[in-house]
Amino acid sequence: MATWPSLPPMTPTSRDPLHGITLARMVEDLSDFYGWDELGRMIPIRCFTHEPSVASSLKFLRRTPWAREKVEALYLHTLRASQRSGG
């Protein structure tokens, strides 16, 4: 597993931890950190399990709100876990 990327601090005007983070960055960070195989086990959707790529994943996630919510939730979970562990 790779190390979790550091994020810029939140702006004082936004309390949203995903503010300024694109869906592309989320997919790239998660696939780099977990790898496609593990990501496909954690979120079992076809774009992560069958010939995965960032481009195909973005196409699916942009038109499928429930799947995007799962990706955002995993990203936040991983971000919080990384901050707790000091990584």
Q: What is the pLDDT of residue 6?
A: 63
Q: What is the pLDDT of residue 7?
A: 59
Tokens of 55: 């481009």
Q: What is the pLDDT of residue 4?
A: 64
Q: What is the pLDDT of residue 12?
A: 58
Report the predicted TM-score, pTM, of the whole model to 2 decimal places: 0.82
Contacts within 8 Å (CB) and 24+ apart, 60-67: 61/23, 61/27, 62/23, 67/43
Q: What is the pLDDT of residue 2?
A: 66
For residue range 2-50, list pLDDT tens digits in order: 676 765 555 556 788 888 899 999 999 999 999 999 999 999 999 999 9
Classify each residue of 50-73 as buried b or exposed e, where b means 16 or more C-beta atoms within 10 Å of its C-beta: eebeeeebbeebeeeeebbebbbe
Q: What is the pLDDT of residue 84?
A: 83
